[in-house]
Structure 1
Amino acid sequence: MQVKHIKALSIKQIYAERIIAGTKKIELRKRPIGIELGDLILLYETNPDSVIRGGFIADKTISLSPPRMWNQYHHIMGVDKEFYDIYFENCEFAYGTLIRQSFSFPALPLKQIQKLCSGFVPPQATINWRKNWYVQAEWLDALNKGRNELMQENRLGEQLNLLIF
């Protein structure tokens, strides 16, 4: 099963809801967190809900100074200026992953995730989904659709498995 391009991202519920609704189209962080073009990012909503019920296909990640990031992308950030300024205070760079397409999925609460995924610990930022962990069919559908669209646009190359003899 191909889970190489599935990651879980720790996020507050309000921002997960905005991503799923399409009003937040860029995910901001203070440092790079290993999200790559075409990855399926599962939104792990932190306390009190502790659940995965949505995600997105990652587009490109950009880094700019916080003032430039705000000037260019504030209309799709889903945060207000006061929050933004406090969050990026004393940061040289702001990192933003553009959201290509968002999805809602059947809810998977933390207790169920831990039963289905041995060793799952809620991420501090992001974690790679392990090969032996449970994967909802809807996740694979979203991942395959997103990656196929990026390949058709020549933005993502097909991954070939080469055998060396």
Structure 2
Amino acid sequence: MKRNILMSIKPRFVKEIIAGTKTFEFRKKICQPHNIEKVYIYSSSPMKKIIGSFDLNIVLEGLPEEIWESCKDGAGVTKEYFMEYYQDKEKAYALQIENLKIFDNFISPYETNKNFTAPQSYMYIDNLSINSCSA
């Protein structure tokens, strides 16, 4: 069974994703990508809203230098920033952003769930009903 996740992304990177200059999201750890159908984008503080989604079909895994070479044109960050992010890490993961959909109305998860806690990296959201809010 395919699942959905909610992924926290800093607002400055969300802007790059929306602009189309960032077509890869980088992570130090990743869930089981073959089980994931859709990634919902949570723009972290100060925005604190779910702004859209993308399909997760391709996840690259390798040494940071290899991942940089494969993804640098869609990184949305400098090589210095990338290498600092992966400092002392042997593996890097790149999630290719495909079929990006930005919602007409961004969703505040705090309005529908007073106990909502934003994920540090990601969380499964199989029971979260967001489909009616998509563009």
Residue 100 of structure 1 corresponds to: 98
Residue 134 of structure 1 corresponds to: 129
8 Å CA contact retained: 2:22, 2:74: yes
Q: Deviations over 1:89-113 (max 9, x none)?
A: 1010111111112111121124224
8 Å CA contact retained: 2:4, 2:36: no
Residue 121 of structure 1 corresponds to: 117
Aligned in 2, Cα 1:63/1:37: closer, same or farther, shift over 3 Å? same
Q: How does 1:84-99 map to 2 (within 5 A)?
A: 84-99=82-97
Kindly indicate whether residue 17 of structure 2 is the aligned counterpart of residue 22 of structure 1.
Answer: no
Aligned in 2, Cα 1:38/1:129: closer, same or farther, shift over 3 Å? closer
Once residues 99 and 31 of structure 2 are traced to their aligned partners in structure 1, the CA distance between those partners, rounded to angstroms, is: 19
The alignment's TM-score, normalised by the length of structure 2, stands at 0.86
Once residues 99 and 56 of structure 1 are traced to their aligned partners in structure 2, the CA distance between those partners, rounded to angstroms, is: 6
Q: By how many angstroms is 1:14 displaced?
A: 1.4
Opposite residue 28 of structure 2, the aligned amino acid is K
Aligned residues: 134
Residue 54 of structure 2 corresponds to: 56
Once residues 24 and 56 of structure 1 are traced to their aligned partners in structure 2, the CA distance between those partners, rounded to angstroms, is: 13
8 Å CA contact retained: 1:62, 1:95: yes
Residue 42 of structure 1 corresponds to: 40
8 Å CA contact retained: 1:34, 1:126: no
Once residues 59 and 9 of structure 1 are traced to their aligned partners in structure 2, the CA distance between those partners, rounded to angstroms, is: 15
Once residues 5 and 120 of structure 2 are traced to their aligned partners in structure 1, the CA distance between those partners, rounded to angstroms, is: 12
Q: By how many angstroms is 1:40 displaced?
A: 1.4
8 Å CA contact retained: 2:5, 2:125: yes
Once residues 76 and 97 of structure 2 are traced to their aligned partners in structure 1, the CA distance between those partners, rounded to angstroms, is: 12
8 Å CA contact retained: 2:57, 2:96: yes
Q: Deviations over 1:108-158 (max 9, x none)?
A: 12422425xxx5321111111142x3323254xx8xxxxxxxxxxxxxxxx
Q: By how many angstroms is 1:37 displaced?
A: 6.8
